[in-house]
Structure 1
Amino acid sequence: MGEANPDRRPSPDALLALADSERRGRLKVWLGAAPGVGKTYAMLSAARQARQAGTDVVVGLAETHGRADTEALTVGLETLPRRPFSHRGHLLAEFDIDAALARHPAVLVVDELAHSNAPGSRHPKRYQDIDELLRAGIDVWTALNIQHLESLSDVVTRITGVTVRETVPDTVLDRADEVVLVDITPSELIQRLKDGKVYRADNARRAIDHYFTPGNLTALRELALRRTAARVDDQMVDYLRQNAIEGPWPTAERILVCVGGDARSMTAIRAASRFASGLNADWLAVHVERPEAAPEAGASERIEETLRLAERLGATVLRPSGRDIVTEILRVARAENATQIFLGRSRGGVWRRLRGRSLTAAVLERAGALSVHVVGEDDGEGPAPAGMPRLRLPALSLSGAGAAVLAVAAALGIGSGLVRYVELPNLSMIFLAAVVLCALRFGTWSAVLASALSFAAYNFFFIEPVYTFTVAKPHELLALVVFLLVAIAIGGLAGRLRDQSELVRSRAGAIRSQYEFARKLSGTAKLDDLLWAVASQIAAAVGGRCLVLLAEGQELVLRGAAPPDDEMGPAEWTAAYWAMTHHEPAGWRTGTLPNARLQFRPLRTARGTTGTIGFEPADPARALTGERERMVDALIDQASVAVERIRLVDDMSRAAASAESEKLRSALLTSLSHDLKTPLAAILGAITSVRALGARMDDAARSDLLLTIEEETRRLARFVSNLLDMTKLEAGGLDITPDEVDLAEVLPGLIARAALLLPGLTVKTRPWPPSATVRGNPILVDQVLFNILENADKYAGPNAVASVGLEVADGRVRLVVEDQGPGIPADQLDRVFAKFHRVATGDGRAAGTGLGLAIAKGIVEAMGGTIRAESPIAGTRGTRILITWPLAAPNTRAGGPPEGIPS
């Protein structure tokens, strides 16, 4: 073997497979050629040794079959109790997977890998239980006989004559981390049978006579040795790839097996699986769908069953569509780089020879460089007896046959009527028209029948001698034969055109349905509406019902259903949880909980599995066709994308809200850091000066410092009050006492108080009515006006002048405050009432906290009024704040401001 090459990198696929295996438990399989070779004995012996070495080993299940030496090995090993099951009046004891998961040992011994579980179990097969244990991180030791491998079951049946009913997919053994071959010679095994170490004496004699013959045991032993050698070779190749070691690599073979609707496809699938396993090759199972051809009764079920078998054996399943099966098979083979083709032998017979070359012969003729393997039939399905060909009747419906008869009768009537009045040299065109009409309306076989009937009618009624099938003139016989051939050809072409048009119409309908569904999903903004649309579309696709469940925390919640019901039993809920947690289908027609009435599939998004979609077809006894299966897959994929889109939009909205909140928080902190520090610094400086200088300060200086302390304290109090008021407004806790407030009476006092607190601002008034009553709180009205005047004082500059006016009109009261400052930029006019929004002053700095106008807006709107800003109002300068409230009392006379207020 070669050495590691530093210039060669390990295989990415091998490293990914290694990483995946490290996340799972390790599977160790004791493989034997036949019962009695000592698999369970060897496995329990290894378990005892591991236990003595300190490993946490637990026996989940061991089938000793009453053998004393095997039972002795279980003494001293922890053994899980079996779970009782009641089935048809019998009490069965099965492996308890839930107890094993709860115990979670380092190594769990679970015998009889191919065992079928009792009905009602979580999984139909024990190998599926083991797979769940491996995903939970538990190492599992198990035992298996070679005859239970799916790909070898038919070979074992031919060798031994015994049908193997319990099988395990080959992929289970392929994924095993270790395979231990338990091997003894046929003579040793037969002697063990005779000594009663395998079965009781009477059973042992029957087994030796029928199953355990030297020839059978030798063949089974060879199969076990070959399969183990292939697994060891796979492990060596994996090691070479993981460690970038150069060496001989196996030839890159790729196998394609053709799947049809007959039982021979099963044989071809198993043969291809064995061949691919021996070559370490990938393989494909291909079924070509012919949309224009109706499948035979039961063929769809056989095809789906065969393709599921291929998937279990490790094949990649493809379902191309085309009219010419051979052309499509060869196209797929070349596109997928297949090197060998497997197909079952086509049955011969007179009828098939009349219809043309068989599929086998056509593939052999056109395969070119591809190797073609023709798999023989099992003995139980031998060829049809000579002279008894298997006829396949044409797919002719009663309506098509009736239409052919009526069309030919109509053509006959028209022809008979015409010949009475017009001498026509040839009436065959009338019958050709009938053939074409049948082809276009009812398909090829109706046209063929119409051709035959037209041939007979034309000969009987219009070819001399009439009313007999005798043709007197040779040229008329030639014309009649040509007519028949042309009629069949035209009918066939027209029928194909009809079939193609129906196929195109059907596919166009499916594409249009998906397109409309995609448009509906893209235009849906609400998750509930989306899920309802998904459920309705999938229910229509399967012709049954559909449920959509989304994960909310650790629970699944039913969010959509069509028809709108929530009928789910325990089996359905269990299958739904399984599909979500294990990211694989569960329920109806799957390998997990197949007794559930619905099949649940995971709803996968970029974030993982976020829910499940369950569907139940109208006829649960029939599997979904390949076309409907693909339709459901496409709809689920579209639903996943749409759910992810809506959730991303929600995330973006939350992120935007969070960013805005962070922005406000930053602004608040900035405001607090500035507007709290500034007055505190002034207060602290003044107090420090008074304490330090004391009696040495004159009265004027001391008064000045005390005034500074008073002004900054009031400023700080207003700031804290603004914060509290803003909090109350946002929480809806601001108390608006429903009292009558006459603005004409309270405004003078408010303006006078503002003049004392804002000495740098000159406030003027304009004439207003003697009464302007609104409903509200006078204290809050005071705060609104003071916040607006304070805002003017901050932004209007030195020697600022503001005017206050009051108007009553149309049952409303308007309070107008104007200043002659620099105004508000047009791009910020709509945001001046937002929290923490501050307009930069002339020196580029932002004044205030940005809460004054926001609080004013909140109070005004809480009192049922409106507030807005206008700027500029005179040239390029000035700002006007307009507040409007509903009038609470009638206004009767006009006048001016009370005495003592400047105008």
Structure 2
Amino acid sequence: MPETDRESKSRPDPDALLALAGQGRRGKLTVFLGAAPGVGKTYTMLTRARRLKSDGVDIVIGLVETHGRGETAALVEGLEILPRRDVNHRGRVLSEFDLDAALARRPKIIVVDELAHSNPEGSRHPKRYQDVEELIAAGIDVWTALNIQHLESLSDVVAQITGVAVRERVPDTVLSRADDVLLVDLPPAELIERLNQGKVYLPDSAKRATERFFRLGNLTALRELALRRTADRVDDQMVDYLKQNAIEGPWASGERLLVCIGPDPLSEKVVRTASRLASGLNAPWIVVFIERADRESGDGEAAKRLDETFRLAEQLGAETRRIVGNDFVEEILKLARREHATQIVIGTRRQPFPMRLFRQSLPDALAERITGVGIHLVTDKEQPRPKRNVTVKRKMPEGFGRALAIAAATVAAATALGVFIERFIILPNISLLFLLAVLASATYAGHVSAIAAALLSVLAYNFFFINPVGTFTVAEPHEVFALFIFLVAAALAGSLASRVREQAKSARRRAAATQALYDFSRKLSGTANVDDVLWAAVTQMQTTLKRNIALLLPEEGDLRLKAAWPPDTELDVTDTMAARWAMDKKETAGNGTGTLPNSPFHFRPLTSPHGVVGVCGFTQAGKPLEINEERALSAILDQTAIAIDRARLSRESLDHAAKLEGERFRAALLSSISHDLRTPLATITGAVTSLRQLGDRMPPESRDDLLQSIEEEGGRLTRFVANLLDMTRIEAGTVNAKRDWVDVADAVRAAVDRARKYFPDREIETSIAPELPLMRGDSVLLGQVLFNLLDNANKYGGDEPISIYARRDGNDIVLSVTDLGKGIAQGDLEQVFEKFFRRGKVDGRTPGTGLGLSIAKGFVEAMGGRIKAESPALRRRGTRISMRFPAAEAEISEKDRA
């Protein structure tokens, strides 16, 4: 064995070492496990606690339930007890375990009884075992008690045994992660006697418990479950020890079965026998098939049997493996060591005497090389031998005639070539021509053709080239030896060439299948739409299986056919019921199964990490899938399920993003409204209050100033409300721009006049090109756009004049509003037209609502124009907002040309 192999075998398991290292940073959990109430779990726990307390160990009582048992209550005396916390629950005051007090006290060991208890509403954790996990994470050792019926995986079994449903349950992982599990056991008869004596429950409760739960059969069954589960936990601890210390084992701590199967009919019996053995031993088992690296697992009946055997093993609860290798014994031994198997189950048949001389059976080879592991041999029934007078009709292998024909043709060609050469020159190694014929036959027709060519070559070489020529007689003894060596060499060379040919064919098939799956996965990776995913999957499956395909997805509480090949495929009632069964039960249904087999479709669920996402159906037509088709289909279904799940998550992500955007929009809108409504309203309210209180006592100029403020702020409110209404129309898509003739110069002058009324101190310069053509549009909307741009320039343009230009550029009319303010950062040029985007602060505050440019963009696009922002505009300063509209003359000329 190489040094690296020996080192790897002596190296501890990394995962086991990490788990061991993690234990040093956390507290330890000790579970006192019992079969039923009253067996003495709390009593045993408190007895141990008192003993440790006397030894000076810091151990406290976090919570103990005595249930009125005097002998248990007496054990609590003398131990430190943490105060409980009072919780109001449905009109009652409950005394519960105080987790915060335990964390603050931080003892070495704390006793917390009733692990399966449910905490009242309002507690930090809904279950007490979660409180215990927090204590352990804080480095505190915890002792607790648990009855076997409270384990999650056994709740249905307990309900079936006792007829009582257990409401409070604990996950099995809690027990599996426990550092120590101490079984507190009591014979059922003695427990019933304690119950009758009133040592478990009060008399009335004890009577009801005896009638319903505490019956001899129930307690015996629960006791068996507790014993088995404790043994399993101890076995897990033993395996951890083996891995942490790199001991190859196995130790006689627990049974693990390794079952070896093949494509033969005996494998089904092997699996069933192993299932019964594993059930009796309560042991996990692994079913393994070893596939030769130089050949495929086979086609036809053998591959179907192998696939059916694997399915049977999975149904019986086994774990299945496929391993590629040439040395069967070595692969089995490696897997047995890695899985710590204690027993190997393998099938065997009686070999004929000559075969036993030349070939060792697999069980015998295992028995010679393995130590410390038992081997179970499963034999088949002895098949009666056919009588001599019975004629057994054998089917000729497929391609046999072609193989013989190729062998005969290649040998004939070699013979003819050799005879032709010998007419001109005598060669002592003319036999090499026949070796070439054997290799050619093996390459083109396989090993059967190679063997036939070798035999024919010996006969032809003897007849045409060995004296006496023309007969099959050999005159010299050394020629007989040469013929024999030639036959052996030709057979070996042909066999090797045939094997190379089969390997090449197998490699080509596997490469083609791998390439097809790779192309399919690449196609899916670039597809985000569910419909595209489904049609890609349907196409790939139809190409691979050459069968009718149907893909169904859940929609509005029902299954709907979403993609099929051929596209006009329809499913009847039976098909739909089978598909629903596959969806709901997460198992196969339809043709070839035990559920609704009358359906022509075989349905399989599409399972992703988030559950079943759909159902795939394909026609069986009495022809089950071959093993290679099964593998390809499984890969396609897995990738399709993941792609569907990814598309669903992508859609949900977009919906979530839209909701977040809506929330952001709503928050911004509320913020804007609250600010932009409150400011002018405060000004108006203050002015009105002053006018009412002072009245005629105010100077006329002061009164005029207040009235002007009211007018300005009222106009501001009017513009704000108008902007909100305009934005609402744009968002709803209800902006219907008129297609009237618009004089751009008139629209510009009207907008400027309106702006000068609202901000008379601002200087506005206009430049309108002469003979500016008309445009098709809405004069009202255009005026509103220009006013919004002028208002925006007034806020951010500083003290410099605002310029508005109108000119013609080819077939377009260009309008621009320019200011010489601070300008816009290059990174913000694309965002200025978004809702509620504001460019900065003026006089320490953010002016406006951030809707003006967004409304302008919506109105411009509604009229068929374009708008953009440029900065800097002039002298490395300012901002220019430009709009382009098609001129009416260009529109008329295009109609004339049409």
TM-score by length of 1: 0.70
Retained in 2: the 8 A contact 1:259–1:286?
yes
Which letter does structure 2 place at the counterpart of 1:407?
A: T
Shift of residue 492 of structure 1? 1.2
Q: Which residue of 2 aligns with 1:286?
A: 288
Which letter does structure 2 place at the counterpart of 1:663?
A: R
Shift of residue 369 of structure 1? 5.0
Local SS of the residue matching 2:846: coil
CA pair 568-667 structure 1, distance change in 2 beyond 3 A: same
Local SS of the residue matching 2:830: helix
Retained in 2: the 8 A contact 1:301–1:622?
no
The reply to whether residue 581 of structure 1 matches residue 568 of structure 2 is: no
Shift of residue 886 of structure 1? 2.3
The reply to whether residue 422 of structure 1 matches residue 425 of structure 2 is: yes
Query: Structure 1 regions of 5+ residues with no counterpart?
Result: 29-45, 56-105, 108-227, 892-903
Taking the aligned partners of 2:857 and 2:598, their CA distance within structure 1 comes to 65
Q: Which residue of 2 aligns with 1:745?
A: 746
Which letter does structure 1 place at the counterpart of 2:597?
A: P
Shift of residue 771 of structure 1? 4.8
Shift of residue 607 of structure 1? 2.6
Taking the aligned partners of 2:307 and 2:265, their CA distance within structure 1 comes to 12
Q: Which residue of 2 aligns with 1:458?
A: 461
Taking the aligned partners of 2:768 and 2:314, their CA distance within structure 1 comes to 92
The 5 Å alignment of 1:123-138 reads none
Shift of residue 344 of structure 1? 3.1
Match of 1:269 among 257, 268, 271: 271
Q: Which residue of 2 aligns with 1:853?
A: 853
Taking the aligned partners of 1:853 and 1:296, their CA distance within structure 2 comes to 71
**1:836-868 CA distances to partner (integer Å, 9 max, x unpaired)?**
111003556422111112212222222222222
Taking the aligned partners of 2:856 and 2:492, their CA distance within structure 1 comes to 90
Which letter does structure 1 place at the counterpart of 2:701?
A: A
Q: Which residue of 1 aligns with 2:129?
A: none
CA pair 271-17 structure 1, distance change in 2 beyond 3 A: farther
Shift of residue 694 of structure 1? 1.7
Bigger mean CA deviation after superposition, 392-401 or 237-246? 237-246
The reply to whether residue 657 of structure 1 matches residue 658 of structure 2 is: yes
The reply to whether residue 433 of structure 1 matches residue 436 of structure 2 is: yes
Retained in 1: the 8 A contact 2:772–2:807?
no
Q: Which residue of 2 aligns with 1:515?
A: 518
Shift of residue 341 of structure 1? 2.7
Shift of residue 526 of structure 1? 2.1
Shift of residue 441 of structure 1? 1.7
CA pair 378-11 structure 1, distance change in 2 beyond 3 A: farther
Q: Which residue of 1 aligns with 2:780?
A: 779
CA pair 487-853 structure 1, distance change in 2 beyond 3 A: same
CA pair 807-431 structure 1, distance change in 2 beyond 3 A: same
Taking the aligned partners of 1:543 and 1:411, their CA distance within structure 2 comes to 43
The reply to whether residue 827 of structure 1 matches residue 833 of structure 2 is: no
Taking the aligned partners of 2:470 and 2:155, their CA distance within structure 1 comes to 87
The reply to whether residue 728 of structure 1 matches residue 729 of structure 2 is: yes
Taking the aligned partners of 2:749 and 2:154, their CA distance within structure 1 comes to 85
CA pair 241-332 structure 1, distance change in 2 beyond 3 A: closer
Q: Which residue of 2 aligns with 1:237?
A: 228
Shift of residue 887 of structure 1? 2.3
The reply to whether residue 762 of structure 1 matches residue 895 of structure 2 is: no
Bigger mean CA deviation after superposition, 275-284 or 382-391? 382-391
Match of 1:467 among 466, 470, 482: 470
Q: What RMSD over aligned residues (CA atoms) do the two structures have, in Å?
A: 3.8
Local SS of the residue matching 1:487: helix
Percent identity over the alignment is 42
Q: Which residue of 1 aligns with 2:864?
A: 864
The 5 Å alignment of 1:599-678 reads 599-617=602-620, 620-678=621-679
Shift of residue 301 of structure 1? 4.1
Shift of residue 769 of structure 1? 1.5
Which letter does structure 1 place at the counterpart of 2:561?
A: L
Local SS of the residue matching 2:616: strand
Bigger mean CA deviation after superposition, 230-239 or 445-454? 230-239
Give the number of equivalent residue pairs: 691
**1:151-183 CA distances to partner (integer Å, 9 max, x unpaired)?**
xxxxxxxxxxxxxxxxxxxxxxxxxxxxxxxxx
Match of 1:371 among 368, 371, 374: 374
The 5 Å alignment of 1:49-128 reads none
Retained in 1: the 8 A contact 2:333–2:370?
yes
The reply to whether residue 256 of structure 1 matches residue 389 of structure 2 is: no
Local SS of the residue matching 1:600: strand
The 5 Å alignment of 1:521-560 reads 521-560=524-563
CA pair 625-786 structure 1, distance change in 2 beyond 3 A: same
Taking the aligned partners of 1:870 and 1:262, their CA distance within structure 2 comes to 80
TM-score by length of 2: 0.70
Shift of residue 382 of structure 1? 4.9
Bigger mean CA deviation after superposition, 623-632 or 228-237? 228-237
Taking the aligned partners of 2:468 and 2:574, their CA distance within structure 1 comes to 76
Retained in 1: the 8 A contact 2:148–2:222?
no
Shift of residue 572 of structure 1? 1.9
Match of 1:402 among 402, 405, 408: 405
Shift of residue 335 of structure 1? 4.4
Retained in 2: the 8 A contact 1:351–1:389?
no
Q: Which residue of 1 aligns with 2:489?
A: 486
Q: Which residue of 1 aligns with 2:717?
A: 716
Q: Which residue of 2 aligns with 1:205?
A: none
Taking the aligned partners of 2:399 and 2:481, their CA distance within structure 1 comes to 29
CA pair 246-328 structure 1, distance change in 2 beyond 3 A: closer
**1:601-660 CA distances to partner (integer Å, 9 max, x unpaired)?**
22222332221122224xx32332333322222221111222222223223333333333
CA pair 340-457 structure 1, distance change in 2 beyond 3 A: farther
CA pair 419-232 structure 1, distance change in 2 beyond 3 A: farther
Q: Which residue of 2 aligns with 1:886?
A: 886
Shift of residue 705 of structure 1? 0.9
Retained in 2: the 8 A contact 1:347–1:383?
no
Which letter does structure 1 place at the counterpart of 2:374?
A: S
The 5 Å alignment of 1:782-861 reads 782-797=783-798, 799-841=799-841, 843=843, 845-861=845-861
Q: Which residue of 2 aligns with 1:684?
A: 685
**1:413-451 CA distances to partner (integer Å, 9 max, x unpaired)?**
111111111110122110100111111222222211111
**1:540-568 CA distances to partner (integer Å, 9 max, x unpaired)?**
33331222111123111212223323332
Shift of residue 409 of structure 1? 1.1
Taking the aligned partners of 1:806 and 1:298, their CA distance within structure 2 comes to 85
Retained in 2: the 8 A contact 1:11–1:241?
no
The 5 Å alignment of 1:282-321 reads 282-289=284-291, 292=295, 298-321=301-324
CA pair 19-544 structure 1, distance change in 2 beyond 3 A: same
CA pair 813-671 structure 1, distance change in 2 beyond 3 A: same
Shift of residue 826 of structure 1? 1.7
Retained in 1: the 8 A contact 2:32–2:145?
no
Query: Structure 2 regions of 5+ residues with no counterpart?
Result: 1-30, 34-44, 46-110, 112-140, 167-218, 240-250, 892-898
Taking the aligned partners of 2:638 and 2:452, their CA distance within structure 1 comes to 46
Taking the aligned partners of 1:610 and 1:376, their CA distance within structure 2 comes to 44
Bigger mean CA deviation after superposition, 358-367 or 471-480? 358-367
Retained in 2: the 8 A contact 1:455–1:483?
yes
Retained in 2: the 8 A contact 1:352–1:358?
no
Shift of residue 373 of structure 1? 2.6
Local SS of the residue matching 2:429: coil
CA pair 302-489 structure 1, distance change in 2 beyond 3 A: same
Taking the aligned partners of 2:273 and 2:750, their CA distance within structure 1 comes to 104
Taking the aligned partners of 1:339 and 1:877, their CA distance within structure 2 comes to 85
Shift of residue 375 of structure 1? 2.5
Shift of residue 397 of structure 1? 2.4
CA pair 366-513 structure 1, distance change in 2 beyond 3 A: farther
Taking the aligned partners of 1:584 and 1:673, their CA distance within structure 2 comes to 58
